[in-house]
Amino acid sequence: MNAMEMFRFAHPEYFGGLILIPLLTALFILTRILRRRALRKFGTPEMIRTLTPSASASRPVLKFILLMLALALFIAGAARPQFGTRLKQVKRHGVEIIIALDVSNSMLAEDIKPNRLERAKRAIDRLISKLRDDKIGLIVFAGDAYTQLPITTDYNSAQLFLSSVNTQIVPKQGTAIGAAIEMAMRSFTPDPAAGKAVIIITDGENHEDDAIAAAEKAHQQGIVVHTIGMGLPQGAPIPVASGTRGDYRRDREGKIVMTRLDEATLEKISSAGGGLYIRANTAQVGLDDLFDEINKMQKSEIEARQFSEYEEQFQYFFAAGLLLLILEFFIMERKNKYLRRIKLFKTAQP
């Protein structure tokens, strides 16, 4: 039992209110700038400090920080944090799905908006939201393959790990589809009765290994390999992630590198793996249709423990937020005239 299952928020959608914090911060900074400009009309900063000795530059900032922290705590409390208090044993009937997602630089191409990788991530997130009794795992690959999430029924963790996926997560560039399939084969449970499927989401430009042979081997072990092609056959340039808009990757001769969907390879991989090939387009990725096909597979009984009762913890967040508000109320924006007289580092007169 992991921490994600033990702790949850009943209404995580309320965290959308956190957008208020950067907006209010920007407004606070703007008002501070405008105030400084207005004061300059009356004299130099040295003169202003002499005329207003009790004015403090840091106290308003401290008060604002406390207010923002209190707001964040109130929003977290409104989302109703809960701790699990009672476990129960449940039985489910589902299949095992491992998604292998290509995170090579070519997945940044924007022939599918906003780009191939982001569209694939959104489709996977929607797929996870539809799961009920199935297990899911996530593998990322480029020049090498890595397990991003071991196979699990914890869908919240799956969505959390998915959100952190980017092209920098794998240090070696390339497209090792075969390595991803082999890692997926090792990631399934040993249950022989469970239906098992691998979904490869990539642009198909395999440069590293024999993916077709890996798919055949998986199929021999009862694992179905499906492929989804991200991109368009005519191709698109690869944006430089850290560059400005319109800046694309170039070869040694200075020509813009084009990345094209290799449908022929992906069709051969899915055929060898006994699965389907679906090409994503600008309207949809195709995971929903593929999931309907996977649902027809043999389902095995999965035993799992889950929390059946949760204890509310929102009161601690509200109490901490209220404490910060009280602290902010008692902090004056001006310097204390008595504390200002205390000089701890006053130099003694000879």
- Answer yes or no: is 349 within a domain: no
Same domain, yes or no: 291 and 253: yes
Same domain, yes or no: 78 and 100: no
Q: What is the CATH number of the domain that holds 248?
A: 3.40.50.410
- The pLDDT of residue 129: 87
- Answer yes or no: is 151 within a domain: yes
- What domain count does the chain have? 2
Same domain, yes or no: 63 and 115: no
Determine the average pLDDT of the residues in 128-137: 87
Same domain, yes or no: 37 and 118: no
Q: Is the pLDDT of residue 40 over 80?
A: no
Asked whether the beta carbons of 124 and 99 are under 8 A apart, the reply is yes
- Answer yes or no: is 347 within a domain: no
- Answer yes or no: is 306 within a domain: no
Pairwise pLDDT comparison (171 vs 303), residue with the higher score: 171
Same domain, yes or no: 208 and 327: no
- Answer yes or no: is 273 within a domain: yes
Pairwise pLDDT comparison (235 vs 4), residue with the higher score: 235
Residue 178 — very low, low, confident or very high, per pLDDT cuts 50/70/90?
very high
One-letter amino acid for residue 185 of the chain:
M
- Answer yes or no: is 348 within a domain: no
Pairwise pLDDT comparison (191 vs 74), residue with the higher score: 74
- Answer yes or no: is 150 within a domain: yes
- The pLDDT of residue 103: 95
Same domain, yes or no: 40 and 123: no
Same domain, yes or no: 79 and 185: no
Q: How many CB atoms lie within 10 A of CB 59?
A: 15
- The pLDDT of residue 255: 86
Same domain, yes or no: 77 and 104: no
Same domain, yes or no: 228 and 286: yes
Same domain, yes or no: 71 and 212: no
- To 10 degrees, what angle do helices 263-272 and 211-220 make? 20
Same domain, yes or no: 172 and 317: no
Residue 43 — very low, low, confident or very high, per pLDDT cuts 50/70/90?
low
Burial letters 3-21, b for 16+ CB under 10 A, else e: eebeebbeeeebeeeeeee
- Answer yes or no: is 69 within a domain: yes
pTM of the shown model: 0.63
Question: CA-CA distance, 320 to 73, in Å (whole number)?
Answer: 7
Same domain, yes or no: 70 and 111: no
Q: Is the pLDDT of residue 306 over 60?
A: no
Question: CA-CA distance, 167 to 171, in Å (whole number)?
Answer: 9
**pLDDT tens readout for residues 214-239:** 999 999 999 999 999 998 888 889 88
Give me the domain span that covers residue 8: 3-83+312-341
Q: Is the pLDDT of residue 1 over 70?
A: no
Cα–Cα distance list, 139 to 116, 136, 158 (Å): 17, 10, 11
Residue 3 — very low, low, confident or very high, per pLDDT cuts 50/70/90?
very low
Residues 6+ apart with CB under 8 A from 189: 96, 135, 151
Q: How far apart are the first and last CA of the chain?
A: 70
The mean pLDDT value of the chain amounts to 82
